[in-house]
Structure 1
Amino acid sequence: MKLRNIQWVLALALVTTALSACSSNKGGGEASSGEKVTLTISRWAGPHADDQKELLKQFEEETGIAVKMDDVDYGQLQQKQTLNMSTKTGEYDLVWAQEIWIPEYIKSGYLLPIDSYVSNDTLNPQDFDFEDYSASLISILTSDGKLYGLPTFIQLPIMVYNKDMLDAEGLKAPSTWEETLAVAKHFRDKGTGIALPAKQGQAAVDIFTSLVRSNDGDYFDSNGKLALVQPAVAEAAAFWQELAAVSMNGSANWHFDEVNKAVQSGQAPIGITISGLAGSLEDAEASNVAGKIGYAPLPYAKKPYGTLSVWNWCVTADSKHPEEAYRLAAWLTSKSTEKALSQKNGQIAARQSLFNDADLVKQFPFFPAVGESLAQADTQPLDPNAPKLMEKLQTALSALAVGSSEPQRILEQAQQDLQAVYP
């Protein structure tokens, strides 16, 4: 489904009169039976969920629809959602689902296509503009021409650098592979280097996937066959190994959290972290570098490219109140609601327009870099065998980071190991 061909109307506004007008229910918060509507939403627990609970009071006030949040630990979230939706209890009306779960949820019939709730009459087009989403986000939620949710919270790796430290050395912020290696080597020779999340894990793979795609490469050839030994992938592997060689001591055992701490303390002149942690760098009470950090997309060979993770609001197929659930999803993803949540906690919404919103950029200067990265971004492969591919790449990248293998050889070994999975 192409973004420009989707005709959207959001029967939703942020005032009671508009919400009442677009509802088929007389009382706004009542079902056709006359009973009061209560929606239950499922998402992970934590500060973001707590902030969202506060905002939901506004929705309840405006619509008369009650909202109950079942917020659980991230490690239990998918299991609980799957159990609920597979048994068709109808307990959940709206689920917060990660992109890697979406294909299985759709295949299992857990989600409701929301196209039927879309018309050509838009009461509040400024607050909900479907064109405000990038095509890559919408494609994640689209299957067989049907849309199964609305994107909301995104994360992707970005590069950060200490402007004062670079200025003191007469260096400019890097962008390409070659420039980044030069800056990292300069500081490595002085005892630091680039803070790199090179620990065996998904952080390294997310970065590596961006590097491959920035080099016009992919893990699969034009026929869909696994092709880890093609030149674009091998060149990215060589760069990863070179970058690890000029990284800060300890980087081979670091994840994004450790990178953030190194930058936040003022030790790291440059690093690669995740957008969801960037806000802590601007926290004047906890960071030694607040106001001193610059932000950019990941280093690229030919073009910037981001590896995207996105959370989405999806209406369950067994919801007892699907229309109201959709209205809630639309309210939660409207520009004003997303901006309000961002102002509370720095959560990065999926809306392109908010990345350059003056209020948000002043508060969170990393927003434009995230928007630039999102302009050309994609998720990790979402096929059923992708977890095995990710696991093998994690092992390969860890070996490269500690310099224990040649890039070409280790890619050949990974290709061979995955032969049974990707024949």
Structure 2
Amino acid sequence: MTTEYSRRQITKLLGSAAAGLAMPALSMAQARKRQFEGRTVNLLAVQFGHHQHLWNLIPEFEKETGIKVNLEYAPFDQTREKTLLDMSSKTGRFDLFTIDIMWLAEYAAAGYLEPLSKYLKNKDLTADDYDIDDFVPRVFSGTGIYNNTLYNIAFDSGTVGHEFRRDWMEKANLPVPKRFDGKFTHTAFMETVGALNEASKGVAGYVTQPQRWFWGWTFTPLMYAFQKPANVGNEFVDKDWNVTIASDDNLAALKYYLGWRKFTPKNDANFGYGEVVSLYQQGKAAGGIHYLGFIGEQFEGTSPVAGKNVYLHTPVGPHGRTDPFFGSWGLGVSADSKQKEAAWVFLQWITHKNQLIRASEKGAGLVRHSQFKSPTVAKAQPWVVDCYEFLLKTANPDERIRVPEWAQISEVMGLYGNKAWLNEMTPEQALEAMAKEMKDAFRKGGYYRSNAKNPPQLWRNLSYYDKKPSGWI
């Protein structure tokens, strides 16, 4: 049996309910919902404000199913460490984890996550109208598939971009481009931040987060934007896994990024995302970096700068390339959970279109076609509408290459990138140091052994991620 209560047991339960004078008759659907009544599942979740709109629905789930959900939060910069600590201990303390796309390969390759297809196929556990094909294909597979196996279900997705004070741009007679219209180029970016920079008044043209922890999602988009057409796909490694991060294209990208320092606040080398939001909200920066899901909470709604902003993508590079950056969060079940089926019942309930649409009307992330097509969601989050086509056709789930070593790669990028920001290294020295440590990580991982079975380089052919979600089950 695949469930702790078989169809025969449920039928028997129904018969007992019908026979008992004091017990109301239950439908098959109701009986299935209550089959794990009294169980408790524990969820370790990253602490993001826009995710809270989804978690606020948990009391409804508890009332409907009788399953208790204990929710524990971890700050973003501690989530991976806390998750790995629990996973590696194999205690099964947590039944569910929120998982960043960039950590999927590491967790799945280590055997820490439960494959989910069998639960999706189980009609006793999954609602008949769950509608797996309502998920945007690249969001579904990009968030959850590793080695052709489904491990996560997406509940948040987006892209990296830049917010600017639209009102300031208009006052300065600067052109205000639209996201993805091709007009927001690397030169237009520099012209904009230069024109809006007023250091004498305490206003920076731009604020970023050079802290060493964040370079994997701040500098990486520029690497992709600056690649020549012939080098696309070789941002980190070539087809033979030779490390290419010290390439001329990446050097140009790094020098360009370091050029922003003329317009950023002084002594900002340890800035993280909190400083970006704070300075921008205070009117002390004309532009800053963001993740799509953060906009509603931090720059609109009750924010002091609400309604004054324009949201743009990474600047188009010198060879006409638009960065295909994609980020997402999924829910996965621990391989060591003692309550896998109850955990799945919660997972599929919270990622059902009914819950996701309601949560995104409040500001939560979008992952389903029905969310992007909802007029009420579009009214609540108008800044996400033009990202639908991008997620369908352009987004690259493998931008932060899907290898178990990604966390190490991101760490060395931050370590030496930050040194370059502080002028402790030249850009050339920083990239060479990154390349050396990346190569060491791949060598340790066995990538250079004869007959090595290395991960497929799926970023070279994104059609892999375009399969209908039901095709993975």
- Is TM (by shorter chain) over 0.5? yes
Match of 1:181 in 2: 190
**SS of 1:266's equivalent?**
coil
1:29 to 27, 30, 34: 34
* Match of residue 144, structure 1, among 147, 150, 154: 147
TM-superposed CA distance for 1:368, in Å, is: 3.3
Match of 1:12 in 2: none
Alpha-carbon separation, structure 1, partners of 2:412 and 2:89: 34
Q: Secondary structure at the match of 1:242?
A: helix
Match of 1:8 in 2: none
Cross-structure match for 2:248: 231
Shift of 1:394: 1.7
Q: Is the 8 A contact 2:197 2:206 kept in 1?
A: no
Superposition pairs for residues 138-217 of structure 1, below 5 Å?
Answer: 138-154=141-157, 156-173=159-176, 175-188=184-197, 192-214=203-225, 215=227, 216=232, 217=234
The structural deviation recorded for 1:42 is 1.2
* Cα deviations by residue, 1:5-27 (Å, 9 ceiling, x for unpaired): xxxxxxxxxxxxxx96568xx45
Label 1:45 to 1:190 Cα distance change in 2 as closer, same or farther (>3 A). Answer: closer
Higher mean displacement: 302-311 or 143-152: 302-311
| 1:158-190 deviation per Cα after TM superposition (whole angstroms, max 9, x unaligned) | 210111111111112352212111211222377
- The answer as to 2:339 corresponding to 1:311 is no
Pair 1:355–1:257, CA change in 2 (3 A): farther
Counterparts of 1:198 and 1:92, CA distance in 2:
32
In structure 2, the partner of 1:67 is 68
Answer with 390-399 or 187-196: which moved more: 187-196
Alignment map for 1:326-365 (pairs within 5 Å): 326-344=344-362, 346-351=363-368, 353-355=370-372, 357-365=374-382
Which amino acid counterpart does residue 236 of structure 2 have in structure 1? Y
Partner of 2:45: 44
> Structure 1 length as normaliser, TM-score?
0.78
Matches of 2:105 and 2:438 in 1, distance apart? 22
Task: For residue 97 of structure 2, give the secondary structure of its aligned residue in structure 1.
Answer: strand
Please give the root-mean-square deviation of Cα atoms over the aligned residues, in Å.
3.5
Distance 1:104-1:187 versus aligned 2 partners, 3 A rule = closer
Could you tell me whether the CA contact under 8 Å between 2:170 and 2:176 is conserved in 1? no
Q: Secondary structure of the residue that 2:42 maps to in structure 1?
A: strand
Q: Residue 395 of structure 2 aligns with which residue? A: 376
Q: Which is higher, the Rg of structure 1 or of structure 2?
A: 2
Q: 1:387 to 1:112 in 2, by over 3 A?
A: closer
For the 8 Å contact 2:212–2:270, the answer to whether it is kept is no
Counterpart AA for 2:310: G
The 2-side partners of 1:275 and 1:236 are apart by 23
Structure 2 partner of 1:98 = 100
Which residue identity lines up with residue 294 of structure 1 in the other structure? V
Report the counterpart of residue 265 of structure 1 in structure 2: 282
Equivalent residue, structure 2, for 1:11: none
DSSP-derived class of the 1:153 partner = strand
Q: 1:264 to 1:336 in 2, by over 3 A?
A: same
Amino acid at match of 1:268: A
Offset at 1:337? 0.9
Contact (CA 8 Å) 1:41, 1:94: kept in 2 or not?
yes
Q: Flag the 1:40–1:224 CA change in 2: closer, same or farther, 3 A.
A: same
- Give the Cα–Cα distance (whole angstroms) in 1 for the partners of residues 339 and 419 of structure 2: 51
Quick one: structure 1 residues 205 and 54, their matched pair in 2 at CA, closer, same or farther if it must change by over 3 Å? closer
The alpha-carbon distance between structure 1 residues 22 and 326, as it changes in their structure 2 partners (threshold 3 A), is: farther
Kindly tell me the number of residue pairs found equivalent between the two proteins. 394
**1:298 maps to 2:301:** no
Given the superposition, is the C-alpha separation of residues 208 and 368 from structure 1 closer, same or farther in structure 2, using an over 3 Å criterion? farther
Aligned 8 A contact 2:251 2:431 in 1: yes
How far has the Cα of 1:206 moved from its partner? 1.0
Q: 1:419 offset after TM fit, Å?
A: 4.4
Indicate the residue corresponding to 1:112 in structure 2: 114
| Whole-Å separation in 2 of the counterparts to 1:293 and 1:206 | 22
- Per-residue CA deviations over 1:364-393 (Å, capped at 9, x if unaligned) read 343236556644133523434333332332
Q: What is the DSSP-based 3-state SS (H/G/I as helix, E as strand, rest coil) of the residue aligned with 1:366?
A: helix
SS of the equivalent of 1:118 reads helix
Per-residue CA deviations over 1:293-337 (Å, capped at 9, x if unaligned) read: 111222231333354443221223344453443232122112221
TM-score by length of 2: 0.71
More deviation, 169-178/395-404: 395-404
Structure 2 spans left out of the alignment, 5+ residues: 1-25, 178-183, 444-473
Look up the match of 1:14.
none
- Looking at structure 1, the residues matched to 409 and 88 of structure 2 have their Cα atoms a distance apart, in angstroms, of 27
What's the offset of the Cα at 1:37?
A: 4.9
